[in-house]
Amino acid sequence: MNCEKEMLRELPAISYEVCTWLYEHKVSLDFHVSFKTNKYSVPYQYVGKKVDIKVNSNSLEIFYKHSRIAIHPKLPDYMKYKYSTIEDHMPDAFQKVEWDDERIKRWANKIGPSTFMVINKIFDSVKIKEQGYNSCLAVLKLANKFSNDRLENACELALTKVKCPRYHHLNGILMNNQDLIWMSNKDSNKKIDDGGYVRGADYYGGKYND
């Protein structure tokens, strides 16, 4: 008994807690990684690299090659689409990444005014511009799949329905051909307004039968 007593150690200061590990998560251009619907920052030098995420009930830790590079209080499950951003993780004022807001806006402007407006609204909706990079690029890459004209028309339609259209709004419009139907209806209404489909009184005999 005395031998066993000598082998005993003090209990850990922190109680054991079950953790969840998520592996091979790529760091986005906005220097955040996603967990469920929320995003957590890492130092911007890790953009494009794959990291592992350790989650428990209170915290979220991020590891690169087994070394911890960030720790955040875990956002509650009821919070959706929120950012946990540590200021020290932000790029330096002179740090240039492959994409920046000016380049993204130039691309949008080449597609059309409605697309440019959607991109500006996305940037206006985030706290720091880097948080808008992924959302904006997802929108603009729809042009590669559907064409510039269709994306521009989809943005124009979405702006009549949603304050700040995002990828899922625009992708839904394009996948269901709502942009084509909307443009067809616009063209039809324009022709009616221009008198293209309106027949005068002569055609119906109204000129002589009033």
Decide if pLDDT at 1 tops 90. no
- Residue found under tokens 């956002």: 75
The values of phi and psi at residue 79, to 5°, are -85, 130
110: pLDDT confidence band, cut at 50, 70 and 90?
Answer: very high
23/143 Cα distance (integer angstroms): 32
7: pLDDT confidence band, cut at 50, 70 and 90?
Answer: confident
Mean per-residue pLDDT for 38-49?
A: 92
How far is residue 53 from each of residues 61, 95, 171, measured CA to CA in Å? 6, 26, 30
Helical packing angle, 148-159 and 113-124, nearest 10°: 60
Decide if pLDDT at 209 tops 50. no
Question: What pLDDT does 207 receive?
Answer: 44
State the chain's mean pLDDT as an integer. 84
190: pLDDT confidence band, cut at 50, 70 and 90?
Answer: low
Residue of higher predicted confidence among 166 and 17: 166
Q: Tell me the pairing of strands 50-55 and 38-41.
A: unpaired
Identify any residues that bridge with 54 across adjacent strands, giving them in sequence order: 21, 61
155/162 Cα distance (integer angstroms): 10
With residues binned 3-state (H G I as helix, E B as strand, rest as coil), the percentages for the chain, rounded to 5, are 45, 15, 35
CB atoms within 10 A of CB 183: 16
